[in-house]
Amino acid sequence: MLPSEPLGAGFPLGVERVELTTHRDDRGSFAEVYRPSWPVSPAPAQWGLTLSKANTLRGMHVHLEKHDYVVVVSGQMFLGLHDLRPDSRTYRTAAAIVLDGEDWCAVRIPPGVAHGFYFGETATVLLGTSHEWSAADEMGCRWDDPALGVSWPCSAPILSERDRTTGSYTALEAELTKKA
């Protein structure tokens, strides 16, 4: 069983860092990323692997059903977070953390917490989700909307078409209210 801890004051409630035990020797490193016996609830049902080029931003995305379990395998990732759960005591809290492939850990992101990934350098990320991908559970807003309160370390990142054309924070809140 691995230690899991909330990221603490200033972070959305339920976002947790899971320390992965890493074994290093002259050959390199090994770490277990997930075991069904670990207290990861709910357990990942789907795994994905992304390779992101330098200066890429993926987000902001939010899900109402799906939990995310994120591990940076190589490179570095700036993880921006914003709590969109009206019933949460950390509602509208924004925070960020840098994850590094040299210090393996996982971060669990609960439903209702918007998240975006910025890569200042090429990086590989392993992403586990508690449910299989569903378009009905995919929502988002512009990464640079001032209402998010995330201080990104970039100004003109590479974006997908979806992230480039997504709506405002205000529109996202309205969509979430309709789905609640």
- Each residue of 4-48: pLDDT tens digit? 556 667 899 999 998 898 999 999 999 999 888 877 777 889 999
* Backbone torsions φ then ψ of 68, nearest 5 degrees: -110, 145
Partners of 97 in beta bridges: 79
Contact 61/117 with Cβ under 8 angstroms? no
- Give the domain CATH number at 173: 2.60.120.10
Sign of the Cα torsion 140, 144, 149, 152 reads positive
Choice among 16-25, 73-82, 138-147, 166-175 with the minimum mean pLDDT = 16-25
Residues in CB range of 149: below 8 A, 6 or more apart: 82, 92, 94
Has residue 3 got a pLDDT over 60? Answer: no
User: pLDDT by residue (tens digit) across 96-107?
Assistant: 999 999 999 999
Nearest Cα neighbor of 93 from 108, 76, 119, 115 is 115
- Residue 116 has a pLDDT of 99
- Whole-number average pLDDT of the chain: 93
DSSP H/E element including 164: helix 161-165
- The domain in which residue 14 lies consists of 4-179
Number of domains in the chain: 1
